A and B are shown apart, each in its own frame.
Chain A
């Protein structure tokens, strides 16, 4: 149940970014999560909806999640493979010299909200 800690960190970053950009009412918080992370989306949303109530500016925010599949690249034959099951070797040449090129993501991509007109 580490999703609560993740949502708390998410709001710490989002709130700082909101203030810096002078956004008022946040409509969307977009996050990117790679499949390699063992994060349960329903639990993440539950914590998001619970915590946003206590954070001015985020009360009406919606969490938008972009999930990224797990992809590896074989350093020997250069093949890029979309992993459907956990086997971190190249299916073509069986090399174990591979690089994970997608699926480790866990970041906030953007915030969407109403911006107070800045005074000149």
Chain B
């Protein structure tokens, strides 16, 4: 036997990326706006979706990604919207969702009358950013309590997103941080990203979020 080198030149995540592209097109054809909500744990993703369902429309479906528990999906179900739970715990506690899981979930979901599909990714600013799940809008939720430096520490997540929601702004009076610095750091990583500041608790800034949804749905 002789030694031999072969060129492979294939993207390692090519299968994931192919499924993601198919999902993007499929949901666009169905006129459903598909958002991938990424953040650290506890940034308020579920509360934002909950309030969106209560204030805006029930034509929302949410796919909830968590390592364990159905706490978030129960909350959203109580808000009157359809929910599908993915627990990655049984698969070894994976810290992100992949396009294939969304593909499988959609086989069990009736999307008739649905206008918005939210995927609440697993709370983590590292791994979810590596996997395209086919969303039309990657949305990064950053709560003000996380500090000003997170965009610089986790650049991929901010660079790969089209929208950044700065959440929990009702807490600003109690914190020694400047929202101007958070915005500057986000824009350093992604100058073209859209930024919305809001509080899902008080409703401040929610108009801009709902306008964003309406505008991008068209």
With both chains docked as a complex, state the minimum distance between the C-beta of A119 and any C-beta of chain B, in angstroms. 14
Q: Nearest B residue to A33 by beta-carbon distance?
A: B12
Is B5 within 8 A of A114, CB to CB? no
The answer to whether B189 touches A88, judged by C-beta atoms less than 8 angstroms apart, is: yes
B192 pairs with A2, CB closer than 8 A: no
B1, B2, B15, B92: most-surrounded residue (chain A CB, <10 A)? B1
A112 within 8 A of B: yes
Contact partner of B191 (CB less than 8 A), chosen from A4, A9, A88, is A88
| Nearest CB in chain B: distance from A94 CB, A | 10
Say yes or no for A6: interface residue by CB 8 A criterion. yes
Partner of A109, one of B8, B16, B188, B191: B8
Chain A, Cβ-Cβ closest to B5: A112
Task: Write out the residue numbers on chain B whose beta carbons fall within 8 Å of the beta carbon of A117.
Answer: 1-2
- Is A38 interfacial (CB 8 A cutoff)? yes
Contact: A113 with B3, CB < 8 Å? yes
Minimum C-beta distance from B156 to chain A (A): 6
Asked if A82 is at the interface of the complex by the 8 Å CB criterion, the answer is: no
Contacts of A115 in B (CB 8 A): 1-4
Q: Which of B2, B4, B152, B159 is in CB contact (< 8 Å) with A36? A: B159
Query: How many Å from the CB of A109 to the closest CB on chain B?
Result: 6
Which range contains the number of A residues in contact with the other chain?
35 or more
Determine chain B's interface SS by DSSP, over half rule. Answer: mixed
- Contact at A111–B1, with CB atoms within 8 Å? no
Number of interface residues of B (CB under 8 A): 37
Find out whether the CB atom of B191 lies under 8 angstroms from the CB atom of A17: no
Residues of B close to A102: CB separation below 8 A: none
Q: How far is the CB of B67 from chain A (nearest CB, A)?
A: 11
Query: Is B155 an interface residue when CB atoms closer than 8 A count as contact?
Result: yes
Which residues of A sit under 8 angstroms from B129, Cβ to Cβ?
38
Given A2-B127, A38-B129, A109-B7, A86:B155 Cβ within 8 A? yes
List of B residues within 8 angstroms of A17 by Cβ:
6, 8, 10
User: Among residues 134 to 192 in chain B, which have CB atoms less than 8 Å away from a CB atom of chain A?
Assistant: 151-152, 154-156, 159, 188-192
Q: How far is the CB of A59 from chain B (nearest CB, A)?
A: 16
Once the chains bind, are B16 and A9 in contact (CB under 8 Å)? Answer: yes
A111 touches B6 (CB 8 A): yes
Q: Is B53 an interface residue (CB 8 A)?
A: no
Chain A hits for B152, CB < 8 A: 85-86
- With A and B bound together, what is the CA distance between A4 and B127 in angstroms? 11
B56 contacts the other chain (CB 8 A): no
Chain B interface residues toward A at CB < 8 A: 1-16, 92, 94-96, 98, 126-127, 129-131, 151-152, 154-156, 159, 188-192
Question: Which residues of A pack against B, CB within 8 Å?
Answer: 1-2, 4-6, 9-10, 12-14, 17, 21, 23-25, 27, 31, 36-39, 85-89, 96, 106-117
